[in-house]
Amino acid sequence: MIDLNIAIAGASGRMGRMLAETILATDGVQLSGALDMAGADAIGSDVTAFLGTHSGVLISADLAQGLANADILIDFTRPEGTLDHLAWCVDHGVKMIIGTTGFDAAGKAAIAAAAERIAIVFAPNMSVGVNVTMKLLELAAKSFAEGYDIEIVEAHHRLKVDAPSGTALQMGEVIAGALGRDLDEVGVFARHGVTGPRDPSSIGFATIRGGDIVGDHTVLFAGIGERIEISHKSSSRITYATGSLRAARFLADKTHGLFDMQDVLGLR
């Protein structure tokens, strides 16, 4: 088997470090490049120096240097950075795995357009467990279509900049789709003051930010006389890293197209 050459964006961040460590410990993949923002303290250092080892891959702010030998770029950064990387990858035929969240409609459209030329896995959460949970939510929503109020509660670390999380929004979209609703019309993202009775067709969201919470998501189906909770809790970013490598193997024989983790896991 020929190793897949994988580059990492945001290499000095928490997710970037976890990806580097996981790639080094995984057969069939090779760490080929590492990117970070110009001016970052880690620029020029070995990407695995934090492990006390030397990979020979230096962190660079230069896309041509960082992606010179890459088959695939894994990107968990910010929308503006990811879109810059996307343009370069399209021009140079590098596939992408995008775990970045917080894109607006224009950003999502740019990713969809790029997928006409390169293969992309785009998912707000790369965890295998989360994506199996999405399938369970689809089934639950169809069963609890009437007489149950739906609320989504998510918690993340204090440094997360977007809310609700991309995973919570995807959960809402999955549930709304199963119920034949439009999340843009039924989503409730804030409550304050005298709100009146709950609209039974709504899907509510609550956001918690604090400490070093990696990622907790719970969907509550509250009926009369019972309530059902479907939860996923992440205790380590390694789940996102291993899911990303599973996505990389999925892309190995793809030339173009937009995919998500449901495609990767064969859950469609």
The residues that are catalytic are: 156, 160
Edge-to-edge order in the sheet of strand 72-75: 59-60, 29-35, 4-9, 72-75, 95-98, 119-122, 257-259
Length of the chain: 268
Q: Dihedral (C-alpha) 173, 178, 181, 183: value to the nearest 10 degrees?
A: -10
b/e sequence 128-154, b meaning 16+ C-beta within 10 Å: bebbebbeebbebbeebeeebbbbbbb
Residue type, 257: G
* Distance from C-alpha of 159 to C-alpha of 203, rounded to nearest angstrom: 26
User: Which tokens hold the place of 51?
Assistant: 């492990």
Q: Which amino acid makes up residue 148?
A: Y
Residue type, 119: A
Instruction: Report the run of H or E that residue 209 belongs to, with start and end.
Output: strand 203-209
- The Cα-based distances of 161 to 84, 103, 164, 209 in angstroms read 19, 12, 10, 10
Nearest of 128, 125, 199, 120 to residue 166 by alpha carbon: 125
